[in-house]
Chains A and B, each alone.
Chain A
């Protein structure tokens, strides 16, 4: 595994194949938890941890799993890892555990985890697989954070509310009241706000992508080849 390969995996996870903006996977937690930055980022990081572990460990055992039963085995391993992470968070990060509550077990049902295992980890060795899970998880976390920020500012007029639950009492004063005396905009907090917000983010990403491509084309007169193959 060389550096270029690593960089490609990282670029894929965060931008080119971003799980939330391009593959549109894992929408259930994405839409449910992104009501604040803290919730979104915390669940994103928990998912990243699970993805790193599951992709890494499945890449190790992939040659021992018969093809016919690979999906049940993968699901079993993912479920076990999620439950282990849940126990550990309950024991050592109680505040965060309380915040995320029922969404931690729901990581099991997040199809992005199984999708990366099936698409990447079952064909590659352990290290790149773990890194792929990590990069994809970070891509998801970034989107959750941005979407959470959008919804929180619009819906509640604050940023980082609830951060003391995640980081302890010392963070009590870190909540930013972006719009003082704000009465709230419920639509942004409720599920429709998540769908609209995600739509806007996807549009913004596509626009940025088209613009950089157009710029590259005009910079070098050579015919642009396989710039946007996968859809």
Chain B
């Protein structure tokens, strides 16, 4: 009896040892790569922003002209996000918003939208998603031009009821076999435009130099 107890204990200690070792490895890799990962994501975001904000429409430093937005149900965000403002000769021209479509086929789809001051979309891009490769991933600009259907659209041009995929009676094209993904994106873009409409003045409010935030 004693021998069984001892060997059981030994086995348990052994397993705990490997669990601790594994945790240590994971934790250290996480901390070692965290900054680099954040930097790559930031760089990718910059690349996307320069795709959807036409260079002729601004003369300010977009990355500096930013505004923190609290988490919002309309944007689908659970954390504070950053909005970047583009201005031409001091006049607001475009605001870049982050939005999240929570109901993709496999989880959240993170988007950025560039909205012109008059409420028209300058462009939308997908930042991250986990949709099925080869099926739902045509929302990526690298895979297909689908995401450009939003260019120039506004809530004036399309009524609120039209902001759906064609299958649901709306006006947005989608590819056969993958409807859940574009449905989620269209819905999230529409909600973000509603948010823009409600907060337009605040979003373009003059730049207050944020103290202690010189990143």
Residues of chain A whose beta carbon lies under 8 Å from any beta carbon of chain B: 32-33, 35-36, 39, 64-66, 68-69, 72-73, 76-77, 79-80, 83-84, 87-88, 90-92, 94, 98-99, 101-103, 162, 165, 186, 189-190
Partner of B36, one of A39, A83, A91: A91
Task: List A contacts of B90 (CB < 8 A).
Answer: none
**B29 adjacent to A101 (CB under 8 Å):** no
Contact between A76 and B18, CB atoms less than 8 A apart: yes
- 6 residue pairs A–B, Cβ–Cβ below 8 Å: A83-B26, A84-B29, A87-B32, A91-B40, A94-B40, A99-B133
Q: Do the beta carbons of A32 and B37 come within 8 Å of each other?
A: no
Sort A-B residue pairs by CB-CB distance and give the 8 closest, nearest first: A91-B36, A91-B33, A94-B40, A35-B134, A80-B22, A87-B33, A84-B29, A91-B37
Is there a chain A Cβ closer than 8 Å to B161's Cβ?
no
Contact call A32/B133, Cβ cutoff below 8 A:
yes
Question: A32-B133, A68-B11 are known contacts. Are A90 and B22 too (CB-CB below 8 A)?
Answer: no
Q: How far is the CB of B147 from chain A (nearest CB, A)?
A: 15
- B106 CB → nearest A CB, Å: 7
Pairwise interchain contact A69-B134, C-beta atoms closer than 8 A: no
Q: Is the CB of A35 within 8 A of B11?
A: no
A189 contacts B37, C-beta separation under 8 Å = no
* Number of chain B residues whose Cβ lies closer than 8 Å to a Cβ of chain A: 29
Q: Is A66 in contact with B33, judged by CB distance below 8 angstroms?
A: no
* Chain B residues within an 8 Å CB radius of A92: 36
The contact of B10 among A33, A66, A91, by CB within 8 Å, is A66
Residue among A64, A90, A91, A186 facing the most chain B CB atoms (10 A cut-off): A91
Find the B residue at minimum CB distance from A85.
B29
Closest to B41 in A: A94
- Complex contact A69–B11 (CB within 8 A): yes
| B71, chain A: closest CB distance, angstroms | 24
In the bound complex, residues from chain B placing their C-beta under 8 Å from that of A33 are 133
Q: How far is the CA of A189 from the CA of B32 in the complex (A)?
A: 38
Tell me if B214 is interfacial: C-beta within 8 Å of chain A: no
Main SS of chain B's interface residues? helix
Least CB separation from A102: chain B residue: B130
Residues on B with C-beta less than 8 A from A69 are 11, 14-15
Chain B residues lying within 8 Å of A165, measured Cβ to Cβ, are 142
Interface centre among B30, B36, B129, B177 (most CB of A within 10 A): B36
Interface centre among B10, B26, B30, B37 (most CB of A within 10 A): B37
Q: Are B18 and A73 in contact (CB under 8 A)?
A: yes
Are B40 and A35 in touch, CB under 8 angstroms? no
Which of chain B's residues have a CB closer than 8 A to the CB of A103? Answer: 133
**A77:B18 contact, CB within 8 angstroms:** yes
Contact between chains at A66 and B11 (CB < 8 Å): yes
**CB-defined interface of B40-52 with A at 8 Å, one 1/0 digit per residue?**
1101100000000
Q: Does B19 contact A (CB under 8 A)?
A: yes
Whether the Cβ atoms of B40 and A88 lie closer than 8 Å is: no
Contact pick for A189, options B18, B22, B25, B134, CB 8 Å: B134
CB contacts (< 8 Å) of A186 on chain B: these are 177
Q: Chain A residues near B11 (CB, 8 Å)?
A: 66, 68-69
CB 8 Å contact bits of B183-211 with A (1 = contact, 0 = none): 00000000000000000000000000000
In the complex, A69→B14 CA distance in Å?
9
**What chain B residues lie within 8 Å of A72 (beta carbons)?**
15
A65, A79, A102 — most chain B CB neighbours (10 Å) = A102
Interface contact A35-B133, CB-CB below 8 Å: yes
* Docked pose: A69 CA to B33 CA in angstroms: 31
Nearest B residue (CB) for A64: B14
Please determine whether A80 and B26 come into contact, CB atoms closer than 8 angstroms: yes
Nearest-neighbor residue (CB-CB) of B35 within chain A: A91
How far apart are the CA atoms of A68 and B14 in the complex, in Å?
A: 11
**Nearest neighbor of A61 in chain B, beta-carbon distance:** B18
Give the distance in Å from the alpha carbon of A165 to the alpha carbon of B129 in the complex: 15
Q: Quick one: closest A residue to B142, CB to CB?
A: A165
Q: Shortest beta-carbon distance, A203 to chain B, in Å?
A: 25
> Which B residues are CB-close (under 8 A) to A76?
18-19, 22
13 additional contacts (CB under 8 A) given A66-B10, A99-B133 = A39-B133, A65-B18, A69-B11, A69-B14, A69-B15, A73-B15, A77-B18, A80-B26, A83-B26, A94-B43, A94-B44, A101-B130, A162-B143
